[in-house]
Structure 1
Amino acid sequence: MADGVSVADIITPVYVPNETVYSFFPLNGVTNCQCISEAKPLLGVQVTELVDGIFIACTINHSVVDGTSFWHFFNSWSEISRGSDCISKLPVLERGFLSDSEYFPSRLPLWSIEPSGTHTPPPNLRQRVFHFTKENIAKLKAKANAEIGSTNKISSLQAILSHIWRSFTRNRSLDPDEEVHFMLGMGVRQRLQPPLPPEYFGNAAQVLGEFASMKARDQLEQGLGNVALKMNKFIAAYTDEKIKNFLESWGKNPEILTWDSLPTKNNACFVSSSPRFNFYGNDFGWGRPIAVRSGPANKAAEGKITLFAGVEEGSVDVEACFLPETLQDQI
């Protein structure tokens, strides 16, 4: 129970009250590898009673599931809680798409899963949620396509991400010649050939270690359309061949990705989650959700962006974790 904390205390402030929200999440500070080396849980659930509501928080090992599988689990749990005799979408556990490789299942050397030190994030990182209405998203998409002479090449999500990327580059006041980077956790289910079923239960997301990159000057001067086109080409490059080559290479030489191992962490944005996930269709018997917030995972430096569907149909919420001086301006 969170004595004296109301729903409004969480969703009304301009900045997310990190200390309060993070306390609602279990397994804070536990890394994926510690579930192997120290037998930490793969899943933690915490239900906190507020003055006038309920906060349901889950922490799950990202090595086991991606966002699609996590929300499959969460949506199914909601169905069962409402008294359903069976879940509407049964999980698919088949791993046949890896059967041709001699390197799976992979074996990580013990030295590679031992903690090499704890990264200390900047103490003053703040979070702010920016709301994009359906109408504003349509305007961004139309503007991006018009600037490159297209009718529909740039998707709504690409237009949003490009707008965010340019906005935070501007608000950071970077050197015009500095390279700024954009990293994206990519779901690959439908990019594999043949595609994986939507109900595949596992981790089918990749960060290939590559970035969409531009000089700060070019990004701000070339306009939304050109930045969105750069984003479009970056995303389109995730082909079946590239995904499988990455899996094969990683299987031969498995390497654990950490925030500190990223050479561009101080001038990059990293995006995770998706507005396509079913956030607001869940009902555990207390009614539909009214807001979504995330815990402290993967927020070791400024630049973490988490995408959620908005409450209104067609809207998108962007949860941005940056230094206060970056967040003080509107995007």
Structure 2
Amino acid sequence: MPAAEVAEPISTAAMKLRTLSKTHVRPRKPVGRRECQLITFDLPYVAFFYNQKLLLYKAASATGDAGFDDAVRRLTEGLEIALEEFHQLAGKLGKDEDGVFKVEYDDEMAGVEVLAAAADDVEVADLVVEEGGSKLKELVPYNGILNVEGLHRPLLAVQITRLRDGIVLGCAFNHAVLDGSSTWHFMSSWAEICRGAQSISVPPFLDRTKARNTRVQLNLSPPGDSTSSNGSDADPPLREKIFKFSESAVDKIKTLLNANPSDGAKPFSTFQSLSTHLWLAVTRARRLKPEDVTVFTVFADCRKRVDPPMPEAYFGNLIQAIFTGTAAGLLAANPPEFSAGLIQKAIEAHDAKAIDARNTEWESNPKIFQFKDAGVNCVAVGSSPRFKVYEVDFGWGGPESVRSGGNNRFDGMVYLYQGKSGGRSIDVEISLEAEAMGRLEKDKEFLMDG
């Protein structure tokens, strides 16, 4: 058995999905009218797509008509309470008189869109090994919807789908409003309420202007086509796959990389070690020419990097993309420590001064990027194994699997998740051009096979 297990897909034939109900959920108690300016950390994501997450639960008690109705009621009532603190998710995007984007909320707004559906011919086990084809796409809302459409759409949409032996919770979050840390803070808080807590243990910190208070005008409007595509017909076909690295495999990768330390060099972290492992393997799989440039990109949490530091409970986007690149031939010709050193140096250099300089430069000439502008021949890492995704328990146990939806995927996009087995295990969800993925699946060095 290879140290990195490869989940094999089943047929992606379209499932029989029935819509049962559709409603909108607001905070249970009146919140009043609130507004919150979007800041420089938020605005680059306006032209990305809604960020999608799927949580698969095996819960026989939540299936069948009565059990599922109870589950939907529990989730809906818990959401009403959670939104009292996270009321921004029940609002809409707006613009002030100067054209500055903001989140607007008042008690008369529609709230969070919640759809209940049934796919009674599908089991949780079928979806756990699904690569990411048509079945998963049907289980999460707002496919191909841009964040700028939050001007007239809810900022959070939820789809609760009954399976034969469980539930899928599909969520689409407007990425201009929050990042991964805030997403999982909200999800864990919602689950906490559903398990019986009377209030959220860690309320969100909602004042974004404490992190940056520069007003930036953007001249953007929702596109005419409300179902924009994630890619064009000319793009090569992508495949998505999860590679499961056990705790022992992760430790081995880190140990091997740190076996020959240079004088005065800092040890490479688990993240830096696994990132190096991925960058080298994907570069091999792409069969790049020696002179081809390849870029490693990480969307780094800046809560503790900014000055003054922001609390972990800061709600919004407080991430920035960190880039480093080199020629593919240099990666191949040098030991792995060379690649790891590039990554480590780029991450360590991204301090408060560098963050401020990046923001100031962008504010002087705002550019709206597309989701796939992460660099040429890139490996771009999002999400984090630090997020306790398998502890999101709504009252019927933790999820069997946690996945990203199809939005914001491109050749080289990687999502890292905590492994279900716990400890230091990590699930690596990769999107790659199909031929490169085929070679990666057979790369014994990458799989840690022997």
Instruction: Report the TM-score, using the length of structure 1 for normalisation.
Output: 0.90
Give the CA deviation at 1:160: 0.3
Q: Which residue pairs with 1:28 in the alignment?
A: 143
Q: Which residue of 2 aligns with 1:273?
A: 383
* Displacement after TM superposition at 1:2 (Å): 1.5
Q: Does 2:414 align with 1:302? A: no
Whole-angstrom CA distance in 1 between matches of 2:404 and 2:208 = 29
Determine if contact 1:66/1:203 at 8 Å carries over to the other structure: yes
1:204 to 304, 318, 322: 318
Over 3 Å counting, the alpha-carbon distance change for 1:258 and 1:90 in structure 2 is same
Give the letter aligned to residue 21 of structure 1: L
Q: Deviations over 1:163-201 (max 9, x none)?
A: 001001001111111111111111100111221000111
- TM-score, with length taken from structure 2: 0.67
CA-to-aligned-CA distance 1:77-97 (integer Å, 9 cap, x gap) = 000111110111111112343
Q: Residue type of the partner of 2:134?
A: E
Match of 1:11 in 2: 128
Change (3 A) 1:17 1:68: closer
Tell me the distance in 2 between the aligned counterparts of 1:115 and 1:148: 55
Partner amino acid, structure 1, of 2:340:
A
* C-alpha contact 1:148 1:226 (8 A) present in aligned 2: no
In the aligned structure 2, how far is the partner of 1:144 from the partner of 1:256?
Answer: 37
Letter of the structure 1 residue corresponding to residue 289 of structure 2 = D
Show the 5 A alignment for 1:313-328.
Answer: 313-328=423-438
Unaligned runs of 5+ in 1: none
1:287 equivalent in alignment to 2:397: yes
Q: Which residue of 2 aligns with 1:41?
A: 154
- Match of 2:394, SS state, is coil
Which structure would you say has the larger Rg? Answer: 2
Equivalent of residue 58 in structure 1, options 171, 189, 212: 171
Secondary structure at the counterpart of residue 288 of structure 1: coil
Q: 2:144 & 2:312 partners in 1: Cα distance?
A: 30
The one-letter code matched in structure 2 to 1:65 is: L
Q: Which whole-Å CA distance do the structure 2 matches of 1:9 and 1:274 have between them? A: 25
| d(CA) in 1 for partners of 2:182, 2:217 | 23
For the residues of structure 2 that align with 1:274 and 1:263, how far apart are their CA atoms? 17
Give the Cα–Cα distance (whole angstroms) in 2 for the partners of residues 144 and 127 of structure 1: 27
Counterparts of 1:182 and 1:288, CA distance in 2: 32
Residue equivalent to 1:84? 197
How large is the Cα RMSD of the aligned pairs? 2.1
Q: Give the letter for the 1:203 counterpart.
A: N
> Which residue identity does 2:250 align to in structure 1?
I
Which residue among 205, 214, 217 is the counterpart of 2:329? 217
SS in 1 for 2:258: helix
Letter in 1 for 2:316: G
**Number of the residue aligned with 2:295:** 181
**Conservation of the 8 A alpha-carbon contact between 1:192 and 1:240:** yes
Q: Distance in 1 between matches of 2:252 and 2:328?
A: 24
Distance in 2 of aligned mates of 1:242 and 1:114: 33
CA distance in 1, matches of 2:306, 2:375: 28
Deviation per CA, 1:13-60, whole angstroms, max 9, x where unpaired? 5xx142111111111111111223xx1221111111111111111110
Measured in 1, the distance between the counterparts of 2:375 and 2:387 equals 28
Contact 1:165 1:182 survives alignment (8 Å): yes
Q: 1:165 to 1:263 in 2, by over 3 A?
A: closer
Give the Cα separation in 2 of the matches to 1:21 and 1:204: 29
Alignment: residue pair count? 318
Partner of 1:248: 360
- Stretch moving more, 272-281 or 48-57: 48-57
Q: Partner residue of 2:250?
A: 137
Shift of 1:324: 2.4
Per-residue deviation, residues 253-292 of structure 1 (Å, max 9, x unmatched) = 32211146x3844x11111100000101111122111111
Give the secondary structure class of the aligned counterpart of 1:185.
Answer: strand
